[in-house]
Structure 1
């Protein structure tokens, strides 16, 4: 089981953004590869801290993590997926260290002394899931059109910054000579520029290519939830890293089952004879049809609870329930003999309403359903 992000950074859910950033900086400086060369344990802690900070520093991701835990980000590696990449960390969090490790805020020994690691753009795609797929989890094969480097494309060292990715300027000010560094405007900080490319490639040496991507979708996902598959977005020029594929979940409406969180609702219509005499009736569930017993004398509005027949919790806290709402169906048309029968029963004591204390009112049933 993955470690809790709050425990990794030594903070809690009520910690401020500043406290979370401070805790991450402290850990990252302590376990930075420059201070711990060839130390695999320190490198792993450095990656875990970056993964935790990437989620907790983002309000939207933090909210999803607080609600769904680690499963909110399953479906691929990378941040939130357990497959941390050093280039990812340095490109996204380099500014948090100030000048602690040289290179104008970069990382000594990584990224070429301030050279920026270029990352390709992300792609977003919607995936439609049936309620059965949501309940059981599913692996989807998705056709994605993404940009990749064309065959035969080559890059060369940027002549403006000589591959450093940054240019340094010295200015005379009233305080003396000031030295400043900024990303190279020619290569955008990558340290490389396009050298040769085939005719069908764009200005960055990229071509569009279709690819089948496999996405594992865990059980219990929610409509609108976003999963990330690291490295399956658009590729980056040169030796940059590819962007991510963002998979947005869209849940299809079921014909008979209605979802409410992890619980499901089913409207069961019972004939008057079945309501009076009792019956064994077939209903839908997310795992197939099952039979349930309707007791004799069942009242319209009765709720039958089938425990564990709902949707699995995305956090792994068991399954929801299936709530079967009984509706006694009153016939609208009767022949003469049927009408005569019910006329004869008007004054019969067995047909007179006699609610018991156990027969709850409509408002009590609604209250129980939501509690």
Structure 2
């Protein structure tokens, strides 16, 4: 993994914040120490967090682009970099505490961080989209189903209605920033004199402080709650596809709407079938006489048993196509197909009558049979 922050996240140098955030979530899910088996997963995860921290902070990113990776790292050691976006964010903060499956820690890092509740910018903002997973079996994916799932997510604090303080708390201008919501620091560094303006850490950019904080949410305005939701899974869903539950994500800011909950579906196909989009593949055993003389055999599909014609002279490994016997097409009409690969099964033992009949069959075809080796040993080698 390259040290360059853009390479770490796999984005271009002109990527916007949404692209960076999406790339971060994908990489973090891959290398989070709770789920990755790689020996250096923790080190890679920290690099991913650092890259996201810098590239989603407008001031830090500007400095990073100007200085380059090595000079920026050196300047940061001497405190000559900064920005208003706050901590590393994502999956439980820099230490990853809280676990991969905790949606609250994934996107809030244990608190609101440097930007607070939008600083002095009071524009309504939509809440963060959250993600979770859901597993269904092949039959449920075929029919479509309704499933319940439980998620732990941030919600607007019911005690203070998202204010972060009691309604009757006394308000005053922040003493640290004088009500501006920002503080400016000037530092002398090896690279010269640097002036840095950041969000006020005391008031989180609000410009105001209150005599007391909400006892339920500790002033964050959000509370961590468990919610049980019902999701409709459409027929034909495939592994890796996501279902969007509008308004079931994190709460918005300044009166903005809630984000959405994205439910990533995993379809457990089971052992009998293999799936390729809307098509299914299966192996079906037939006997040697059925393959030689032809027959009609029952084939179990995902929604019942059908009859399939096996022509005379069918060879082991031959594949037959049963049209419309696969999975529903989620974005179109009709169904995929079922591909049945025939495997000719040779019995392990024969009675005397069967043996004599097959030896006569071989001799009639001009084959020289080593009876000591066994006729069916040769047949097995053939198939």
Native 8 Å contact 1:271 1:328 kept in 2: yes
- Structure 1 residue corresponding to 2:214, chosen from 193, 197, 211: 197
Structure 2 gaps, min length 5? 1-11, 26-55, 60-117, 166-170, 187-194, 369-383
Question: Quick check: 1:250 aligned with 2:266?
Answer: yes
Alpha-carbon deviations, 1:49-96, whole Å to 9, x = none? xxxx979x96899xxxxxxxxxxxxxxxxxxxxxxxxxxxxxx9x99x
Over 3 Å counting, the alpha-carbon distance change for 1:280 and 1:246 in structure 2 is same
Structure 1: distance between partners of 2:140 and 2:342? 27
SS of the aligned residue for 2:356 comes to: helix
Counterpart of 2:231 in structure 1 is: 215
CA drift of 1:299 comes to 2.3
Native 8 Å contact 2:295 2:310 kept in 1: yes
Over 3 Å counting, the alpha-carbon distance change for 1:305 and 1:204 in structure 2 is same
CA drift of 1:320 comes to 2.5
Counterpart of 1:345 in structure 2 is: 361
Counterpart of 1:144 in structure 2 is: 151
CA drift of 1:325 comes to 0.6
Q: Counterparts in 2 of 1:1-371, with a 5 A limit?
A: 114-115=121-122, 117=124, 122-153=129-160, 154-155=163-164, 159-160=173-174, 166-167=181-182, 183-189=199-205, 196-198=213-215, 200-235=216-251, 239=255, 241-316=257-332, 319-349=335-365
CA drift of 1:19 comes to 11
Native 8 Å contact 1:138 1:218 kept in 2: yes
CA drift of 1:266 comes to 0.9
Native 8 Å contact 2:315 2:344 kept in 1: yes
Structure 2: distance between partners of 1:137 and 1:167? 52
CA drift of 1:123 comes to 3.9
CA drift of 1:259 comes to 0.8
Over 3 Å counting, the alpha-carbon distance change for 1:163 and 1:287 in structure 2 is farther
Structure 1: distance between partners of 2:208 and 2:286? 73
CA drift of 1:314 comes to 4.4
Query: TM-score scaled by structure 1?
Result: 0.53
CA drift of 1:304 comes to 1.0
Structure 2: distance between partners of 1:190 and 1:264? 58
Native 8 Å contact 1:302 1:326 kept in 2: yes
Structure 1 gaps, min length 5? 1-16, 22-52, 62-91, 96-110, 172-178, 353-371
Larger displacement relative to structure 2 (309-318 or 260-269): 309-318
CA drift of 1:248 comes to 2.0
Structure 1: distance between partners of 2:155 and 2:179? 23
Over 3 Å counting, the alpha-carbon distance change for 1:19 and 1:186 in structure 2 is closer
Structure 1: distance between partners of 2:367 and 2:197? 90
Over 3 Å counting, the alpha-carbon distance change for 1:249 and 1:281 in structure 2 is same
Structure 2: distance between partners of 1:123 and 1:341? 69
Over 3 Å counting, the alpha-carbon distance change for 1:182 and 1:207 in structure 2 is closer
SS of the aligned residue for 1:283 comes to: strand
Structure 2: distance between partners of 1:129 and 1:297? 40
Native 8 Å contact 1:158 1:187 kept in 2: no
Instruction: Count residues with an aligned counterpart.
Output: 258
SS of the aligned residue for 2:362 comes to: coil
Over 3 Å counting, the alpha-carbon distance change for 1:201 and 1:168 in structure 2 is closer
Native 8 Å contact 1:168 1:182 kept in 2: yes
Structure 1: distance between partners of 2:221 and 2:208? 12
CA drift of 1:193 comes to 6.6
Structure 1: distance between partners of 2:136 and 2:255? 36
Structure 2: distance between partners of 1:327 and 1:223? 29
